[in-house]
Amino acid sequence: MSKKIKKAIISLSDKSEIKLILNTLKKYKVNLISSGGTSKKIRKLGYKCTEVSDYTNADEILDGRVKTLHPKLYAGILSKRENKIHKKQLKKNNYKEIDLVVVNFYPFEETLKITKDQNKLIENIDIGGPTLVRAAAKNYQYTTVLTSPLQYKEFILDIEKNNGATSLELRKKLSQEAFNLTAYYDSVISEYLNVKNNVNFPQKKTIHGNLIGVLRYGENPHQQSAIYSRYNDLGISQLNGKKLSYNNYNDIYAALNISQTLPKNIGTVIVKHANPCGVSVNNSKIKSYKEALACDPISAFGGIVSCNFKVNRNIALELNKIFLEVIIGLGFDKDSLKILKKKKNLRLIDASKLGRQNSANINSNFDSLLIQSFDNKVFTQNNFKVVSKTKPTKKIFNDLLFAFNVCRNVKSNAIVLTKKSSTVGIGSGQPSRLDSCKIAIDKMKKFQKINENDIILAASDAFFPFIDGIETLVQNGVSAIIQPSGSIRDKEIIKFADKLGIILVFSKTRHFKH
């Protein structure tokens, strides 16, 4: 069912592309109603319009807070055109049907990015705009609603095709987009107020996001997938390669989560299936990458490398020696791009402008949401206690913190073995912590040349419930262990460590990652 457009109300914060739509509305002799800055813009462009206050015979009041909230407008938007009672009531009140609503909202989200001034933010909460949009969207059988300049071209094509009318198909689509927008707009405001009032888990939770892209598929080809962001971008940019997949994004974020915890401009992370398979911190960028790769070069094949620094020519030459899916850098110089772009499918990601920290983890199953704060606690010496008689040097203590930091980003049960701030063995995702120990040890023996003078450290994401795990590690060269406390056998574990003469450090926090 097409619907002729005779009268429109226009109220815009974003007035870009307005001339495009005004030309079309003039062509079909549509009468325009507008207010404030929008009416001035329309007249400046040479088009006629009636001021809202003249149309309603009610002045704008309260510094513009009340201008479009009037029954003459809403009756015209919401009336059912074939309903005799509605037609009679419109005629009685001398109200006219309004067939088109063109509105976008006060820029609350944009204002939030540039100021914390609560008064400015409150004044950028739009009331009239969303109300107009919701009314028009509800009555889509008769009324058309436009909420973005991005919709103008589609609207113009439709109205041209239907000789001054819009199709029901378009009106349905625009209604759906309108309600998505009002829900999103309100959710941004809701989240702002939750944060301001320190409410982490409100009674009603809304999660907003902008569609960044529909992906080829999810974890597997039969699954549909898309990526959204709370912002208008992801904070990272792709410089080369095939379109990113669901699994690529999952691995990229796993790598970035670790990279962001490393010292500034130092360190390399290699990830495979969202688990680190090599991490190293070294002032030499080349050594950092080579040491991370050496931890598990087989798993690194087809993996993701995150360089916590700008990628240069020398690093690019090394990276180019094996097959990788994705390389992340805090920027790439011209020479490195020239080298790496020779592999047309290699995805290059610039994360130099990311600057964001994870605020929450969200997991969804069976139409429920599990939400938790992110495990981004910054470790300090006060978070740990040396419980063994043998005490660590400052260097060993710092290396233990490095191991523990990596460990919290490994799927539980997690064991990480390190040497000189580089991983040498990682055991992940096992139901048994002892099995994780054995896997980490096997990796170390397979890929590392360990001599008797090397100091091997171990980190565990949770406490060892029995001495068997620690015994296995020590038998294979580990001389210092860092683990959370909390076991009923903590005293037994400490006694055993002292018997072996190893260093044992307890963390006050556990770091499961499921």
Confidence at residue 138, expressed as pLDDT on a 0 to 100 scale: 96
The residue count for the chain? 514
Instruction: Judge contact between 52 and 9, C-beta under 8 A.
Output: yes
Confidence at residue 243, expressed as pLDDT on a 0 to 100 scale: 93
Q: What is the pTM of this model?
A: 0.87
Look up tokens 């039969």; give the residue: 222
E-state strands within 74-148: 100-103, 144-146
Phi, psi angles (nearest 5°) of residue 73: -75, -45
**Same domain, residue pair 33 and 120:** yes
Alpha helices in 126-262 (DSSP H): 128-138, 152-161, 168-196, 246-259
Q: What is the mean pLDDT of residues 204-229?
A: 92
Kindly tell me if the per-residue pLDDT of 382 is higher than 90: no
Look at residue 21 and tell me if it is in a domain: yes
Q: What is the mean pLDDT of residues 223-235?
A: 91
Q: What is the mean pLDDT of residues 414-429?
A: 95
**Same domain, residue pair 188 and 252:** no
Look at residue 456 and tell me if it is in a domain: yes
**Residue 92 tokens, joined:** 């009685």
Q: What residues have CB less than 8 Å from 149, skipping those under 6 apart? A: 14, 16, 17, 18, 104
**Same domain, residue pair 440 and 334:** no
* Residue 204: closest CA among 192, 229, 188, 187: 187
Instruction: Judge contact between 416 and 406, C-beta under 8 A.
Output: yes
Distance from C-alpha of 411 to C-alpha of 366, rounded to nearest angstrom: 23
Kindly tell me if the per-residue pLDDT of 349 is higher than 80: yes
**Same domain, residue pair 343 and 386:** no
Q: For residue 169, count CB atoms less than 10 angstroms from its CB and return exposed for 0-12, middle for 13-18, buried for 19 or more.
A: exposed
Higher pLDDT, 64 or 38: 38
Look at residue 373 and tell me if it is in a domain: no
Partners of 276 in the β-ladder: 271
Q: Is the dihedral of CA 463, 467, 473, 474 positive or negative?
A: positive
Catalytic entry in 70, 138, 341, 343: 138
Count the alpha carbons within 13 Å of 74 in the hemisphere toward its beta carbon. 14
Residue 511 catalytic?
no
**Same domain, residue pair 389 and 464:** yes
**Same domain, residue pair 403 and 488:** yes
Alpha helices in 279-360 (DSSP H): 285-295, 297-300, 313-319, 334-340
**Residue 514 tokens, joined:** 């499921």
**Same domain, residue pair 284 and 393:** no
**Residue 124 CA to chain centroid, in angstroms?**
24
Domain boundaries, position 318: 238-350
Beta-strand relationship, 165-166 and 3-4 = antiparallel
Confidence at residue 301, expressed as pLDDT on a 0 to 100 scale: 95
Look at residue 213 and tell me if it is in a domain: no
- H or E segment at 4? strand 3-4
Distance from C-alpha of 279 to C-alpha of 258, rounded to nearest angstrom: 9
* Residue 144: closest CA among 105, 182, 177: 177
pLDDT per position as a tens digit, 453-509: 889 999 999 898 888 989 999 999 999 999 999 888 889 999 999 999 999 999 988
**Same domain, residue pair 336 and 263:** yes
pLDDT per position as a tens digit, 86-106: 988 888 998 999 999 999 999
Instruction: Judge contact between 329 and 304, C-beta under 8 A.
Output: no
**Same domain, residue pair 300 and 393:** no
Q: Number of folded domains in the chain?
A: 3
**Same domain, residue pair 61 and 169:** yes
Identify the CATH number of the domain in which residue 403 sits. 3.40.140.20
Identify the CATH number of the domain in which residue 173 sits. 3.40.50.1380
Look at residue 418 and tell me if it is in a domain: yes
**Same domain, residue pair 170 and 27:** yes
**Residue 129 CA to chain centroid, in angstroms?**
28
Residue 86 catalytic?
no
- Decide which of 143, 174, 196 is a domain's last residue: 196
Look at residue 270 and tell me if it is in a domain: yes
Count the alpha carbons within 13 Å of 513 in the hemisphere toward its beta carbon. 24
Look at residue 398 and tell me if it is in a domain: yes
pLDDT per position as a tens digit, 134-193: 999 999 999 999 999 999 999 999 999 999 999 999 999 999 999 999 999 999 999 999
Look at residue 167 and tell me if it is in a domain: yes
Distance from C-alpha of 309 to C-alpha of 492, rounded to nearest angstrom: 44
Give residue 239's identity as a one-letter amino acid code: L
**Cα three-residue angle 395-490-483, rounded to 5 degrees:** 35
Whether the ω angle into residue 413 lies within 30 degrees of 0, i.e. cis, is yes
Look up tokens 């759906």; give the residue: 176
pLDDT tier, 114 (very low <50, low <70, confident <90, very high otherwise): confident
pLDDT per position as a tens digit, 23-54: 999 999 999 999 888 999 999 999 999 988 88
Count the alpha carbons within 13 Å of 290 in the hemisphere toward its beta carbon. 9
Confidence at residue 390, expressed as pLDDT on a 0 to 100 scale: 94
**Same domain, residue pair 187 and 313:** no
Kindly tell me if the per-residue pLDDT of 64 is higher than 80: no
Instruction: Judge contact between 310 and 332, C-beta under 8 A.
Output: yes
Catalytic entry in 86, 173, 273, 343: 273
Distance from C-alpha of 43 to C-alpha of 483, rounded to nearest angstrom: 71
